[in-house]
Amino acid sequence: MNIKDWKLLRNLSIAYVVLVVGLIIGNIIIFNLIEYGSKPSEFVGCYAYDAMLVGFKCSGFVGSEALGFALNVPLYHFYMPFFVLFNPLLIFVVLALWFFPVMLLVSFVKLRGQNA
């Protein structure tokens, strides 16, 4: 790969990491503003719940399922490596989740080596 490709990969990786960090900040905000636990069916908004593992659920508005999934993505980074023990095919999900964070580190090393 040439330097242009490594810069593109670095920029994509930075965008992915910033997105995941933003979702983590959103999770922290939900933990601090919304009472923990299941909500009644007429609840509108997002909340954290505990069904063996902590997760986030949104309800009552358009796109609530997509936002709930997005809020759980940072948690999948930590949960999925353990789930591989139960279903080895999930290794592909783990590789996909951790591709950009690992490539961010690799691209920094490669670009530093080419600039020196």
Copy the structure tokens of residue 39: 């909500």
Residue 3, pLDDT score: 81
Is 65 in contact with 39 (CB distance < 8 Å)? Answer: no
3-class state of residue 57 by DSSP:
strand
Tell how far CA 102 is from the center of its chain.
14
**What one-character DSSP code corresponds to residue 24?**
H
What pLDDT digit, counting tens, does each position of 42-65 carry?
889 899 988 788 899 999 899 999
Q: What is the pLDDT of residue 6?
A: 85
Query: Which region, left, alpha or beta, applies to residue 37 given φ > 0 means left and ψ of -120 to 50 means alpha?
Result: left
pTM score = 0.84
Strand segments (E) across 1-116: 45-51, 53-59
Q: What is the mean pLDDT of the chain?
A: 90
